[in-house]
Amino acid sequence: MHLPNPLMLAAGILGISHSLFKRVAEAGAGAVVTKSIGLHPRQGYPNPTIVGVESGFINAMGLPNPGAKEFAKEINKSKDIKLPLIASIFGETPEEFSEVACIVEEAGAVAIELNVSCPHAEKVGAVIGQDPNLTSKVVKKVKSSVEIPIFVKLPPLVTDIREIAIISEKSGADALTVINTIRAMSIDIETGRPILSNKIGGLSGPAIKPIAVRCVFEVYEKVKIPVIGVGGITNWKDAIEFFMAGASAVQIGTAIAIKGLSVFQEIKEGLRSYLNKNDYKNYMELVGIAHRN
C-alpha cells in the first residue's frame, strides 16, 4: 500500500462520514481509518461516554455505528478523496466479521482494520484479541473472504502481546496496528460514582504512549509484516519514537482533540526538519533503529 505520508487518522476519531474523511485528508493525513463498523446498527452507551483525565481521555462509546450497509454509502461517496480509506470493523463471530468485511470492500475500502481490541464492549473487541485461537479464526475467515489487505489491531492488556502478533501474522494478517486503548476508570468524588455510564472505558492520549512504544518494540521483533504504531502521539518527537521502535506508519487520535486537525501538518513539518537535520533521506531509515545492538 502506498501512503503519501506515514500519518493516519486513528479509528474512532472523526472517521464517521464522507465530509469528515475529506476534512482529515485536507488537513494532511496520509490515510484515514474509519470508526469501527459492525454488521447491525448499534446505539452505543448513554452519556457520559468520555472524560478528560491526567494526560489523556477515558472513553466508553460502546461502538455506536449505523451498521455496515448504511456506512457503506459514506465509503462509496469517498472515491473523490485521494487517500487510502481503511475500514475498521468489528463483529461477534468470524462469520460476522467476514460479512462486514465483504460489504466495506465492495463499497471501496482499500484495506480493513480488524478491531479485536475494544476494551469496553461485551462479546466483541478485546475478548477476541485476548484469545489467540479466536483471533486466528477471525483473521483466517476475513482473509479468505476479501482480497484487500487486512490489519489486526491488537489489545495491550494481554499476557504477551507478541503471542497474539505472531498468531495474527500466521493466520494471514498483512499488518498489525498496535495498540488500542487501555481499560481504565475515573470516579467523581462529589457523588462517589464512576463518571462514565459504562463505568470502565479505554485510556488514550499521552498517558499510554510509553506502553504503546514498548508494545511496538516487542511486536516488531517477532513479525515480518509492517507494524502501525498508535497511542499518545501528540508531536513529531513522539512519531519518531514509534518509527525507531519499529512502526512503519503511525496513527493519531486523541491529539486531534488536544491540538485540532493541524496536528497532521505540525508533525509532518517537524519530521521533515528532523530528517534533514540528521541527514536521513527518508523516514523509513528510522524504522526499527532502536533494535540495533
Ligand X SMILES: Cc1cc2nc3c(=O)[nH]c(=O)nc-3n(C[C@H](O)[C@H](O)[C@H](O)COP(=O)(O)O)c2cc1C
Interface residue with ligand X, options 24, 42, 45, 57 (CB under 6 A): 57
Does residue 263 contact residue 255 with C-beta atoms inside 8 Å? Answer: yes
Residue placing its CB nearer to ligand X in the complex, 111 or 233: 233
**Of 8-16, 24-32, 138-146, 275-283, which segment contacts ligand X by CB under 6 A?**
8-16
**Considering the rule CB under 6 A, would residue 186 count as an interface residue with ligand X?**
no
- In the numeric block, the cell 482499500 is attached to 110
Q: Minimum distance from CB of 224 to ligand X (Å)?
A: 23
How far, in whole angstroms, is CA 150 from its chain's centroid? 12
**Considering the rule CB under 6 A, would residue 198 count as an interface residue with ligand X?**
no
Taking the C-alpha atoms of residue 13 and residue 21, their distance in angstroms, rounded to an integer, is 10
**Considering the rule CB under 6 A, would residue 232 count as an interface residue with ligand X?**
yes
Give the contacts of 272 (CB within 8 A, at least 6 positions apart).
none
**Considering the rule CB under 6 A, would residue 253 count as an interface residue with ligand X?**
yes
**Considering the rule CB under 6 A, would residue 16 count as an interface residue with ligand X?**
no
**Of 10-18, 73-81, 131-139, 141-149, which segment contacts ligand X by CB under 6 A?**
10-18
**Considering the rule CB under 6 A, would residue 28 count as an interface residue with ligand X?**
no
**Considering the rule CB under 6 A, would residue 13 count as an interface residue with ligand X?**
yes
Taking the C-alpha atoms of residue 69 and residue 107, their distance in angstroms, rounded to an integer, is 9
**Considering the rule CB under 6 A, would residue 246 count as an interface residue with ligand X?**
no
Collapsing DSSP to helix, strand or coil, 221 comes out as coil
**Which sign does the torsion angle of CA 15, 19, 25, 30 carry?**
positive
Q: Which residues on neighbouring strands pair with residue 33, listed in sequence order?
A: 86
**Considering the rule CB under 6 A, would residue 155 count as an interface residue with ligand X?**
no
For the segment 163-182, give every residue that binds ligand X (CB under 6 A).
180-181
**Considering the rule CB under 6 A, would residue 230 count as an interface residue with ligand X?**
yes
DSSP string covering 89-149:
E--SSHHHHHHHHHHHHHHT-SEEEEE---TT-SSSTHHHHT-HHHHHHHHHHHHHH-SS-
Collapsing DSSP to helix, strand or coil, 248 comes out as strand
Catalytic positions are 118
**Of 126-134, 159-167, 230-238, 276-284, which segment contacts ligand X by CB under 6 A?**
230-238
**Considering the rule CB under 6 A, would residue 36 count as an interface residue with ligand X?**
yes
Taking the C-alpha atoms of residue 76 and residue 194, their distance in angstroms, rounded to an integer, is 40
Q: Minimum distance from CB of 47 to ligand X (Å)?
A: 13
The residues that touch ligand X, with contacts defined as CB under 6 A, are: 10-13, 35-36, 50, 57, 59, 61, 88, 115, 153, 180-181, 204-205, 208, 230-233, 252-255
